[in-house]
Amino acid sequence: MPNDPRILVISFSNIEGDARVLREISVVAKHGHVTSLGYGPKPDYVSEHIQVPDSAKSLPQTPLGVMQLALHLHNQAELAAPGNRYALRALADRTFDAIVANDARALPLAFTIARRNQAPVWSDLHEWAPGERTHIASWRILVKPLMEHICRKYLPHTAAATTVGTEIAKLYESQYGVRPRLLMNAAPYADLQPTSVAPDGIIRLVHSGGAVFGRNIEAMIEATIQAGSLFTLDLYLVPAGDGGAYLAKLREVAGGNPRIRFHDPVKPFELPATLNAYDVGVFWIPPTHTNARLTLPNKLFDFVQARLAVAIGPTVEMVNVVNDYGLGVVSEDFSVPSIVAALQSLTPQAITSYKQAAATAADPLSFESQSKVIDEILDAFLQNPPTAGSKGTIHGD
């Protein structure tokens, strides 16, 4: 309708394949006319999409931008990324009634647009922004200080903030004085029943997600092979931006073993039904940086909606969920022998029990339960709107 609130959702990702942002937009769209801005084609639920060209990167990777980062000229670097420059031209003098900024890198653009009519900004922080890629030296040296600057400058002036886990929320509070509300990466409720363990005793392991170096997928493969003939592992992997190099390495590690099977990736909303055919969802990610140490990923909630047992490493946020709901086993550490020991501790009876626990947890751990936070934020914005920067003047360096 012409008088519906105008809501801008910014995400410097391919929104069509970004499960968290897609779920977010599905709820935001109930509150007004949604314009999305990001990479890739127009996603579902939006009224309008501004597609940022793939070549227009979301970080200041131009010679001028790199110089600004190196000299710590962060005020100048905030909007220097080609993606930001394109977005500013595309949005011209447009105004919105509310703005959603996905991840810290979207905040400078969000506040630039918001100031035109003092619109409130909600920051949805998908991870610990200063630690996003600190395992990469150039990112750690050049980009991390920019992310710290953006969080320090803008987060205290957001009208609302959310993030994926309690431990990351505590970090934002301790470092920037803002305690985001919890909005976990929960999948939509799937009306499924646990499948039975195979009568021949074969335990069907499954893992889905990105074929990204550092996620320890090679250890999952090696552990499955070493665990013995009763274990199979099916992998639904999305190739990373490395031209498929890591995925090719994983195939080498598997060595053609018939108990390790590679599949094409599945769309996020199709995952639970696909995974439902298996027994145990598996994920062991070493704590190589803050976000890995504190991750509470989509896949854990996909496993729950698929009514699977779960086998994971001692990752604090995941351990809390697995233990709270009795969903599965936790290995002692992230080494192959430890993973093998965890797998071999599984019995058909235990798996059946864990699957039933997942069925019980499916409702409280569903996106529908989590999405109430989105409704509350937008109701507050649109019924009694706060204003951009209402907590004080935004200062620079």
- pLDDT(238) > 80: yes
- Least trusted range by pLDDT, from 21-30, 33-42, 220-229, 385-394: 385-394
Give 280's DSSP letter: E
Of 319, 328, 329, the C-alpha closest to 358 is 328
**Model confidence over 72-96: pLDDT tens digits?**
999 999 999 999 999 999 999 999 9
60-71: average pLDDT = 93
Residues 6+ apart with CB under 8 A from 252: none
Helix (H, G, I), strand (E, B) or coil at 243: coil
Residues 391 and 255: their CA atoms lie apart, in Å, by: 58
> 339: which 2 tokens?
């993973």
Containing H/E element for 325?
Answer: helix 316-325
- Helix 348-361 and helix 298-305: axis angle, to 10°? 100
DSSP single-letter state for residue 42: P
**Is pLDDT larger for residue 395 or for residue 283?**
283
Say whether pLDDT at 202 is over 60. Answer: yes
d(CA 11, CA 13): 5
Distance CA 194, CA 344 (A): 21
State pLDDT tens for residues 116-142: 999 999 999 999 999 988 778 898 999
**Rounded-to-integer distance, Cα 367 and Cα 371, Å:** 6
CB 386 within 8 A of CB 99: no
User: Residue 351 pLDDT > 70, yes or no?
Assistant: yes
Q: Which domains does the chain have, with CATH numbers?
A: 6-185+367-383 (3.40.50.2000), 203-361 (3.40.50.2000)
Q: What is the mean pLDDT of residues 219-239?
A: 96
Q: What angle do CA 134, 246, 40 make, to 5 degrees?
A: 75
Model confidence at 388, pLDDT cuts 50, 70, 90, reads low
Nearest Cα residue to 298 out of 223, 231, 375, 215: 215
Query: Has residue 377 got a pLDDT over 50?
Result: yes
Q: How far is 341 from 364, CA to CA, in rounded Å?
A: 30
Quick check: helix, strand or coil at residue 38?
strand
Using a pLDDT cut of 70, give the percent of the chain over it. 96
In single-letter form, the type of residue at position 140 comes to R
DSSP β-ladder status, 203-211 and 280-283: parallel
Q: Which of 211-215, 256-260, 294-298, 337-341 has the lowest mean pLDDT?
A: 211-215
> Tens digits of per-residue pLDDT, 96-114?
999 999 999 999 999 999 9
pLDDT surpassing 70 at residue 386: no
**Number of C-beta neighbours around residue 230 at 10 A:** 16
pLDDT of residue 392: 43
Indicate if the pLDDT at residue 391 is higher than 90: no
What is the per-residue pLDDT across 274-332, written as a single tens digit (0 to 9) for each?
A: 999 999 999 999 998 899 999 999 999 999 999 999 999 999 999 999 999 999 999 99
DSSP code, position 186: P
Do the beta carbons of residue 187 and residue 361 sit within 8 Å?
Answer: no
Query: Rounded to the nearest 10 degrees, what angle do helices 166-176 and 316-325 cross at?
Result: 140
Which pLDDT value is given to residue 33? Answer: 97
pLDDT of 356 above 70: yes
State residue 393's pLDDT score.
47
**Which residue do the tokens 């490395």 mark?**
242
Residue type, 354: Y
**For residue range 148-189, what is the model confidence (pLDDT) as tens digits?**
999 999 999 999 999 999 999 999 999 999 999 999 999 999
Give the model's pLDDT for residue 104: 97
